[in-house]
Amino acid sequence: MAISLLTNTTSMGIRNLLNKNSEEITRSMERVASGRRINRAGDDAAGMALASLSEGKIRSAQQAERNALDALSSAQVAEGGMNEIDNLLIRMRELAIQGASDTLGGNERGALGIEMKELISEVDRISHATKYFGTTLLDGQGSEFTYQIGVENDAPSRITYDGGMVDLRASSLGISGINVEDSGSARDALGAIDSAISKVSIPRAQLGAIQTRLNSVIHTMGSYTENMSAALSRIRDADLASETSNVVRNQIQVKAAAAVLSQANTLPLMALDLVKGIT
């Protein structure tokens, strides 16, 4: 090995190793502090791209799940109105059966007629009053609802429900003109009420099917979010056990390099000793 006053290659090499180990300590401590293996693109460019894409998918899935929950709430509000209209129709049928018998007197039949009219009015009121954030659901005036329940911009990520097809007003159900003024009218009312019950059951079944789908979507999105979060963790999150071990290892190496550097810096003194020998 050449001995020089001007260039101490041994010291330079050790200094480079010392700088490298110091940088490794900084990087490992940054990962421990942040909990992430990738804190900048320079740590892992491909991993950073995958992590960003995965995080976008996860947050989209969480929003899609909330969309499905909102849609489920809307469907439940509509079904609540349908259920009450169905109960009113059942009561109206009961009154029609009662009115179909000639055993009733004038006063009793009058009371029966009053209740029947009130029930018809209540059917109309519920059909107009059942709303979800201002949107009517049961009077045939609703629009077509499209629910974004997936993370992609395609048809499988959406569910469509045509609220305008549901019209449960008394006139649409065919019960607005029924009465129980006499036994014959009461018998005629039975057929109209049975038809109305069928008209309510069809959209109610459709709404039940939509709710089943939405519940499935909610479970699917929850599972999707869980699995994508696990994938993101494997890509982005730091292994704290490994990183803390790296910190300790590099700290030891830095201390060793510093000690050796101190010795290497004494090499030019050997050249001075040789010069002294000449003089």
Which CATH number fits the domain that encloses residue 80? 1.20.1330.10
DSSP-based three-state secondary structure for 135: strand
Q: Is the pLDDT of residue 1 over 60?
A: no
Which of the pair, 254 or 89, is modelled with greater confidence?
A: 89
Q: What is the pLDDT of residue 244?
A: 83
* Both tokens assigned to 77: 């509000």
For residue 142, give the nearest of 168, 165, 169, 125 by alpha carbon.
Answer: 165
Per the CB < 8 A criterion, the answer to whether 185 and 191 are in contact is: no
pLDDT category of residue 251 using cuts at 50, 70 and 90: confident
Neighbours of 239 (CB within 10 A): 11
Please report whether residue 55 resides in a domain: no
> What is the domain extent for residue 131?
63-236
β-strands 135-136, 131-132 pairing:
antiparallel
Q: What is the pLDDT of residue 38?
A: 84
10 Å CB burial of residue 197 (0-12, 13-18, 19+) is middle
Look-up: residue for tokens 């449960």?
Answer: 168
Please report whether residue 2 resides in a domain: no
Do both 106 and 205 map to the same domain? yes
Percent with pLDDT over 90 in the chain: 43
Q: How many domains does the chain have?
A: 2
For residue 166, give the nearest of 146, 149, 145, 148 by alpha carbon.
Answer: 145
The least confident of 119-128, 151-160, 235-244, 263-272 is 263-272
pLDDT category of residue 258 using cuts at 50, 70 and 90: confident
Q: Is the pLDDT of residue 33 over 60?
A: yes
Do both 232 and 251 map to the same domain? no
The rounded mean pLDDT for the chain is: 86
Q: What is the pLDDT of residue 211?
A: 92
Do both 216 and 229 map to the same domain? yes
Between the alpha carbon of residue 259 and those of residues 3, 255, 266, the distances in Å are 20, 6, 12
Cα(159)–Cα(150) distance, rounded to whole angstroms? 9
Task: Count each helix (H run) and each strand (E run) in the chain, helices first.
Answer: 7, 4
Q: What is the pLDDT of residue 228?
A: 93
Do both 182 and 205 map to the same domain? yes
Please report whether residue 174 resides in a domain: yes
Please report whether residue 70 resides in a domain: yes
